[in-house]
Chains A and B, each alone.
Chain A
Amino acid sequence: MTADTHFEAVPALPLHTVLAHGEVQWAAAGAEVVVAQPAHAVAHVLDPASAVLWQCLDGASPLTEVIADIAEAFGVTAEQVAADCVPVLRSWLAAGIVHEGPADDQRATSPAPLERAWRRLVDPPDT
């Protein structure tokens, strides 16, 4: 699980918030989930419990629904789940691996360029 180093810096997280994955790449690795931020050359390993929470963030469901679903699946109260999950979600917000609101689909709806454009795809030198 990611370190909760910026816990205090993150504002309160209302339970009606919708959280979506940020500009990250991620994949399930057994019961864990690996979340990589290529821009920062950082990768996080989420433990199995956090991995469940991560995979429930669909960018559309409010946290109340996500927490209720997890509570039902594990047979515990929503309050217990919220107490465990909200600090984790705050740390993810602080780490920039999730963001509030629906997923940004603007790129998918933007019109395709009419002309072929050269793309600079090679990383610039780091000198």
Chain B
Amino acid sequence: MWPHVLTIAVGDTVVVVGTDDDPLAALLQPMRVPSDEHAPDTAARIDFGVELHPPRPAHRAAPRSLPTFQHGSRVIGRAGDVDALRDGVLRTLASLAVPVPAGQVRLTGLPLLHADGVELAPPAAATVAHRRLTTRARRPLYVSSVRVDPTTLLATIDAPLGAATDPLVVPLRTWWLDGDGVEAAQPATLGRLVALAAHRTVDPLRGPERHSMQLAALVQLVDRLPPAEGRFGT
């Protein structure tokens, strides 16, 4: 189905990328590992699907597919801006090799850059139209997660894989919980807000100890910068 299926190594992580994009496949080519040697089950499993050249609609009135970057069925980015999606793919792949430093937390979500820093929208915002975000002076970076230092309130977005550039480090201005956020009927205690955000923590280098460290960092983040009230986009 995919013109290119690449099993690549990023640090100690093996992922399978399926794509229809020749330039992206060429960028990932040097990182390929023999799929049958180290991870025989991965050859038939696609972790990340990157469809940047969807087929043209049969006629003008037919629905038009947008280029999409996704992990399984979860959309990480969907936009007409192919360069932005390609950039997001490379940043997301790079993040798989970056451990979360002690005291920081990696949160899933869609970072939206603007003049004063970055806002972290819930992951579901990845399906919001690119044009709608850019008209509000927000530039989405189509990555799956960002690292946040709760002591400095700086967000780090990993540099693209293979690029000789530094990660983006920008002030985190606000962030949202998923869905409707805090239910009005329940008191928004610190613990409750942390519990609502806990499933957003991720760490490529898994382990219960590291997860608990991240949860403690999330407590600090929620205490210093509570999530915005209400639903994202309202």
Q: Which residues of A contact B (CB under 8 A)?
A: 23-30, 32-34, 36, 38, 41, 43-46, 116, 118-127
In the complex, the answer to whether B218 meets A27 with C-beta atoms within 8 Å is yes
Q: Which residues of B contact A (CB under 8 A)?
A: 9, 12-15, 33, 38-39, 42, 45-47, 71-74, 96, 189-192, 194-196, 198-199, 201, 204-206, 208, 211-212, 214-216, 218-219, 222-223
In the complex, the answer to whether B204 meets A38 with C-beta atoms within 8 Å is no
Ranked nearest first, the 8 interchain pairs of A and B with the lowest CB-CB distance are A125-B72, A32-B191, A43-B195, A25-B211, A29-B191, A43-B198, A27-B215, A36-B198
In the complex, the answer to whether A121 meets B12 with C-beta atoms within 8 Å is yes
**Which A residues lie within 8 Å of B195 (CB)?**
34, 36, 43-45
**Which B residues lie within 8 Å of A41 (CB)?**
199
CB distance from B196 to the nearest CB of A (A): 8
In the complex, the answer to whether B191 meets A30 with C-beta atoms within 8 Å is yes
What is the CA–CA distance of A126 and B198 in the complex, to the nearest angstrom?
Answer: 19
Given A119-B14, A121-B96, A125-B72, A29 and B212 touching (CB < 8 A)? Answer: no
A-B contact pairs, 8 of them (CB 8 A): A25-B214, A34-B219, A38-B199, A46-B191, A118-B12, A121-B204, A125-B72, A125-B73
**Which B residues lie within 8 Å of A125 (CB)?**
45-47, 71-73
